[in-house]
Amino acid sequence: MASASTVQDGLAGQGYVASADLAMALHLSLALGRPLLLEGAAGVGKTEVARALAAWKRCELIRLQCYEGLDAAQAIYEWNYQRQLLAIRALAEAGETGSAVEARLFSEAYLLERPLLRAIRQPVAPVLLIDEIDRADEEFEAYLLEVLADFQITIPEMGTLRAVTRPMVILTANGTRDLSDALRRRCLYAHVDYPDRATELAILQARCSQVAADLGAQIVGFVQDLRKEALEKKPGVAEMLDFAAALAGLGVADLTEDAGVLQAALATLLKTQADRAAISTEVAQRLAGRAA
């Protein structure tokens, strides 16, 4: 029988290092068929989980990026109006009228599938990633609850479409807005934190094998210390990987060797003016010295 460690190993095979808590939550989500809500700061690898899961399960990843004002027409389905209009003209000239036209206009051929509808109509269960659900508004959450509750979508003109397969659903949020209790209760939950030193080093080795081991340890130590500084936007895992790639590309072998290069490479880690100002050359050198 599958267990949490199977999930952990499977994801590791795709270059994703999952914590034990996260692996258990994913395993339960797969075993019980419940959606999984992932929360955590930006850049800790929430979206990446879904990508790794899809790659491991060898299935499609269907992604729905949420934003304010997202509605059913963009998330579930929409009719192809242009085609419908053309068809109405053509059919009228051909002499067809009434209910025959209607039946034809509201058929599969004129239906535009959006991510949610597409996800429940796949022959092989896909991974459905609903990214940044807290950016969508409350009304959309209500639509979503309905779809997640019984995996069926009702289109008034066509009837109810039931799920062919149950997608594995992963929702991510990073606290733009408080989610409704109803949604939280439908989902299993895992909080993803910044990885600890050992985990982050494992991630770096899995994703950027061209970085030498001792430079890798320095990079991870440096980024871990940097996160402890009072920054507006702490660098995430993706930023750390960019930083490592930048240093490797610049041919740096030791963080302390060239203050100018290090300062330039910080562009991959610090993304606001205030943060750049806070980490001056002296601060960066002190952190690099500690990491070395």
Q: Which is nearer to other proteins, 105 or 147 (CB)?
A: 105
Binding segment (CB under 8 A) for other proteins, from list 49-57, 74-82, 114-122, 283-291: 74-82
User: Which residues have C-beta within 8 Å of that of residue 102, sequence separation ≥ 6?
Assistant: none
CB of 121 vs other proteins, minimal distance in Å = 20
Binding segment (CB under 8 A) for other proteins, from list 80-88, 211-219, 256-264, 282-290: 80-88
Do 18 and 49 meet the contact criterion of CB atoms below 8 Å apart? yes
Is 233 buried (19+), middle (13-18) or exposed (0-12) by CB count in 10 A?
middle
Beta pairing, strands 159-162 & 152-155: antiparallel
Return d(Cα 86, Cα 94) in angstroms, integer: 12
- Matching residue, tokens 């930023």: 239
Binding segment (CB under 8 A) for other proteins, from list 16-24, 58-66, 115-123, 282-290: 16-24
Q: Which is nearer to other proteins, 183 or 252 (CB)?
A: 183
Integer-rounded Cα radius of gyration of the chain: 24
> Taking Cα atoms as reference points, which of 231, 237, 241 lies closest to residue 271?
231
Check residue 88 for interaction with other proteins (CB under 8 A): yes
CB of 16 vs other proteins, minimal distance in Å = 18
Return d(Cα 80, Cα 287) in angstroms, integer: 57
Q: Which is nearer to other proteins, 153 or 247 (CB)?
A: 153
CB of 36 vs other proteins, minimal distance in Å = 8
Name which position in 12, 14, 15, 28 contacts other proteins (CB under 8 A). 28
Name which position in 9, 13, 21, 158 contacts other proteins (CB under 8 A). 21
Distance of CA 217 to the CA centre of its chain: 27
Structure tokens at 75: 């998330």
CB of 229 vs other proteins, minimal distance in Å = 15
Check residue 227 for interaction with other proteins (CB under 8 A): no
Residue 277 Cα distances to 180, 247, 273, angstroms = 38, 21, 6
Q: Which of residues 92-151 bind other proteins (CB under 8 A)?
A: 92, 97, 101-102, 105, 137, 139
User: Which residues have C-beta within 8 Å of that of residue 45, sequence separation ≥ 6?
Assistant: 16, 192, 195, 236, 237, 238
* Per-residue mark of binding to other proteins, 185-214 (x: CB under 8 A): x--xxxx-----------------------
Question: Which residues are paired to 36 by β-bridges?
Answer: 170, 188
Check residue 84 for interaction with other proteins (CB under 8 A): yes
Q: Which residues bind other proteins (CB under 8 A)?
A: 1, 3-4, 20-21, 24-25, 27-29, 31-32, 34, 36, 39, 68-69, 71, 73, 78-79, 81, 84-85, 88-89, 91-92, 97, 101-102, 105, 137, 139, 157, 175-178, 181, 184-185, 188-191
